[in-house]
Structure 1
Amino acid sequence: MPRVLVVEDDAAVRRVVEYALGGEGIEVEAASSGREATELLEGEGPFDLVILDWMLPDTDGIALCRRIRASGSGMENVPIIMLSVRDDETSIVVGLEVGADDYVTKPFSPRELASRVRAHLRRRRSRAAPQSETLKFDGLEIDLSRRRVFREGEPVRLTNREFEILAFLASRPGEVCDRERILRHIWGGCFYGEPRVVDVHIQHIRHKIEPDPENPRYIQTVFGAGYRFTEE
């Protein structure tokens, strides 16, 4: 049975989430503060997904999301869904940049949230399936099975989303992929925010893998159409 941690200080919202996920056969643990969440993360063993409210009484979801991603406790690649009343583009981009995989604005539909949780759990299971292929390009190597990237032999640290976008494009060298196609593949139809978040992730990937991010060798922009990975 999948285990989900819900970090939310509003008891009514927690009950709604627990009811929605419990009906899907998902075990839910709840925390009302960052401190309680930290204790559960450290003491209750690994979770399969975290639902994290932006505003908490003793911290904020942004800081907690960063700590989870940097914890080294095996939670680095666990899907995180951010909950927030903030629906502006800047807030959505900030949430995704710090490591959240999805962003849901309040008030939300319990059925929609449950659907997004199911989709993330499915993708988490599919990512665990063995893949033996390694993609090699001039100066760049992408190990799909171990989800590792090397530039000129040196390891490159990518976030979960950055790796998935890079692997998606690199698996289709020479093929032009627009933002909507990348969103559908990576988020599985679960993201309804600003498509330009793709541009933000691409920019971050370029700064990590490109010898000259201003003149990219690997991920090229096709103006008015999308992005294309080099065929070389």
Structure 2
Amino acid sequence: MRKIMAALFLLSIAALARGQQSFGSAAGRPVAVGRLPDMVPDESVRTKFLNQEWTPAVVTFKNGAPAMKVPVLFDEFAEKAYYQEGTTTMEFNHPIASISMLLLIKGDTAYVTFRNSYPPVHKNTGETFYEVLVDGKFQLLSCKAKTIGLYKEDVPEDQRKDQIKEMIYAFFPDGQMVEIKKDKDYLYTLPKYGEVIKSMAASKKLKLKNDKALKELFQYLNEQ
């Protein structure tokens, strides 16, 4: 009896193994290299420009000229954009209103938008480009333009990033353009919108100490 039970047990194991092998061959195949591929690093506008890698983009213009879908290079510090026509590098004839570039972010493609025509603030003018972190009635903006990214011309390009100062701004529904700090006490005292921000932060339990929390705050403000 023990021999019979042992034989039946071995037959069941063999059948299970055959079933798993059959399932595996139908559902997938082994990874040849023996390990998962590395995650592709995020692309940035700056690295694409430094490496002279053209990026698919949609460019709109202030004078109402038709938008262009072209490969572009954009220098966010010098606020200069170029596009590719065939193998030729071209400059835009019309004043640019916005540039939306398609980049690989966290393993997926997403548009990163730069826009100008905002009210003057600090040394920035209406021609200064801002990266739009959150769009809508309440806009969260980032600026690394030459007006605030101060550096000497003799500093090597690959070292300038350490001297670049990023500024965060908010553009509110009433047309206010104000600097934003990752400090709840500062945000709660902003003219007109401080109480709204305080109420929203409390209801959503936001600490407002980092970029992620600021983005969440402005996304919530746009939903109300």
- TM-score normalized with structure 2 length: 0.27
More strand by share: 2
Kindly name which structure, 1 or 2, has the bigger radius of gyration based on alpha carbons.
2
Q: TM-score, normalised by structure 1?
A: 0.26
Going by fraction, where is helix more abundant, 1 or 2? Answer: 1
